[in-house]
């Protein structure tokens, strides 16, 4: 989650291949600025839906693992 939030800052201090990867995953610099401008793009909606799904999936798996201990 921290990499998603700070990916834009980290992409400025890394080399080219890692920089492009971090910049593409950056939540604030790439995907959230479009919402701030008032434009809603499909790629941004898919990104936020995927991040939400991944977070809920991980939380569910963690709670299920805790229940069986």
CA neighbor of 32 nearest in space, from 62, 60, 66, 6: 6
Residues contacting 54, CB < 8 A, separation 6+:
none
Positive or negative: CA dihedral 36, 44, 40, 14: positive
Model's pTM, two decimal places? 0.66
Backbone angles phi, psi at 37, to 5 degrees: -80, -15
* 33 neighbors 44 (Cβ within 8 angstroms): no
14-31 pLDDT, tens digit each = 777 877 776 677 766 677
What pLDDT was estimated at residue 61?
93
């Amino acid at each position: 989650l921290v990499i998603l939030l700070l990916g834009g800052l980290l992409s400025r201090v890394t080399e080219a291949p890692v920089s492009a990867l971090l910049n593409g995953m950056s939540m604030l610099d790439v995907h959230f600025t479009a919402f701030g401008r008032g434009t809603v793009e499909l790629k941004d909606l898919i990104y936020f839906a995927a991040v939400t799904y991944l977070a809920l999936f991980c939380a569910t798996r963690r709670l299920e693992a805790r229940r069986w201990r």
